[in-house]
């Protein structure tokens, strides 16, 4: 029997380079999937809607859209066992004193507001069943400050703290909440941006997917509130 057989997993950012790999790995592991992204057409191109998979378009920064999407998923599958908050964004920018509010707000919405809204919508359903797994994607960079990365680092460090808060709030409710801290993720876009880099030192999407499967399964039942670094082999 597959490790996630019979479970229902919600994956945000499922049309992205990482999200699509995670979706494929979770399906191989036996999970039924609700794939969520802002571009449903791209979702369908990447994953389609085979039996046990639904694709839903959603603006993850819009509270009403998020609540409606989660309600629809619960009505369709009857439950949510795991939530993988993968959607997010990266951007370098000017120093803080030259930064626009639009640049600042865009990364907070993509990286922390989306995690907050999805988790807020899903947790009540998990608490009813006394069972659930939430895994967020933060970043190893978020462990310290760095020039020209303030909005990204602030948003991703907030993901770490939010993970810890939710883990503590729900530890007696059968819900575990953890996050991963990848270094640079090995995607085509990142290779194009940094062609001279050592790609072997980057976090491979399939390695991240394996960790997510572990954290969504009962094998990780003793892990809660953890921030787990993910790096390459170099």
Cα(157)–Cα(146) distance, integer angstroms: 12
Alpha-carbon 214 to chain mean position: 14
Handedness of CA 65, 67, 73, 75 (dihedral sign): negative
User: Is residue 152 flagged as an active site residue?
Assistant: yes
| Catalytic option among 152, 203, 213, 216 | 152
Burial per residue of 161-196, b for 16 or more beta-carbon CB atoms within 10 angstroms, e otherwise: ebbbebbeebeeeebbbbbbbbebbbbeebeeeeee
Cα(61)–Cα(65) distance, integer angstroms: 8
Cα(201)–Cα(199) distance, integer angstroms: 5
Quick one: 134 exposed, middle or buried, by C-beta within 10 A (0-12, 13-18, 19+)? buried
Residue 129: both structure tokens together: 């069943």
Cα(55)–Cα(44) distance, integer angstroms: 7
Other C-beta atoms closer than 10 Å to the C-beta of 133 total: 27
Radius of gyration of the chain (CA): 17
Active site residues: 152
């Amino acid at each position: 029997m597959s490790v996630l057989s019979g479970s229902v997993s919600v994956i945000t950012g499922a049309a992205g380079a990482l999200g699509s790999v995670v979706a494929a790995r979770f399906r191989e592991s036996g999970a039924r999937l609700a794939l969520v992204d802002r571009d449903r057409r791209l979702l369908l191109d990447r994953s389609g809607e085979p039996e046990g998979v639904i694709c839903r378009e959603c603006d993850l920064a819009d509270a009403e859209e998020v609540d409606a999407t989660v309600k629809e998923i619960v009505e369709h599958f009857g439950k949510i066992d795991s939530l993988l908050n993968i959607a997010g964004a990266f951007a370098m920018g000017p120093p803080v004193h030259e930064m626009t509010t639009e640049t600042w707000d865009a990364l907070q919405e993509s990286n922390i507001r989306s995690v907050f809204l999805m988790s807020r919508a899903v947790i009540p359903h998990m608490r009813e069943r006394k069972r659930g797994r939430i895994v967020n994607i933060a970043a190893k960079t978020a462990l310290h400050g760095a020039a020209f990365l303030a909005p990204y680092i602030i948003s991703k460090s907030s993901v770490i703290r939010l993970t810890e808060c939710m883990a503590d709030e729900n530890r007696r409710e059968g819900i575990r909440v953890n996050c991963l801290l990848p270094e640079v993720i090995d995607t085509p876009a990142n290779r194009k941006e940094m062609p001279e880099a050592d790609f072997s030192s980057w976090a491979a999407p399939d390695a991240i997917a394996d960790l997510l499967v572990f954290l969504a399964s009962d094998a990780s039942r003793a892990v809660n509130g953890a921030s787990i670094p993910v790096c390459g082999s170099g």
